[in-house]
Amino acid sequence: MNVADSSPWRELTNVEGLPLLGGHGRVRLRLQGDQGILWEVFYPAGVRSPEHRHSHDSYIYLLSGLLTGTVDGEPARLEPGQTLLHPTAVPHTVEAVRDSTWLEFKAPPSAAWK
């Protein structure tokens, strides 16, 4: 069994090398394994990511708040308890309409995330 305590929060200022818009978020590592990594992410209301894509799948589970955005140009809305996939290489955006916290599982993991 691989159980881990949460790491400390750290400031999140960019995503995939692009600056967040409307402010900064926070992120902390929840658990990491050979096949993936689990982050806890917080965006205050009004913070959003620019359109970006990445070389991994990101599975989102919203704990609290309200997120909107796009996935491959299609509108997306996520309420607490809902899930969303940002697939590999697909452009997407994320915006916190309300202060929002979510779990984000990324697979496969990248050495850059350590």
- Bridge partners (DSSP) of residue 28 are 40
- pLDDT tens column, 37-96: 999 999 999 999 999 999 999 999 999 999 999 999 999 999 999 999 999 999 999 999
Residues 50/95, Cβ–Cβ less than 8 Å: no
Q: What's residue 49's pLDDT?
A: 97
Give me 97's structure tokens. 């309409």
Residues 108/35, Cβ–Cβ less than 8 Å: yes
pTM: 0.92
Strands 57-71 and 74-78: antiparallel
Q: Is the pLDDT of residue 12 over 90?
A: yes
C-alpha angle 9-11-16 in degrees, rounded to nearest 5: 115
Q: What is the DSSP string of 9-50?
A: PEEE-EETTEE-BSS-EEEEEEEE-SS-EEEEEEE-TT-BPP
Average pLDDT over residues 1-8: 70
Q: What's residue 112's pLDDT?
A: 63
- pLDDT tens column, 14-53: 999 999 999 999 999 999 998 999 999 999 999 999 999 9
Output helix, strand, coil percentages for the chain, rounded to the nearest 5. 5, 55, 40
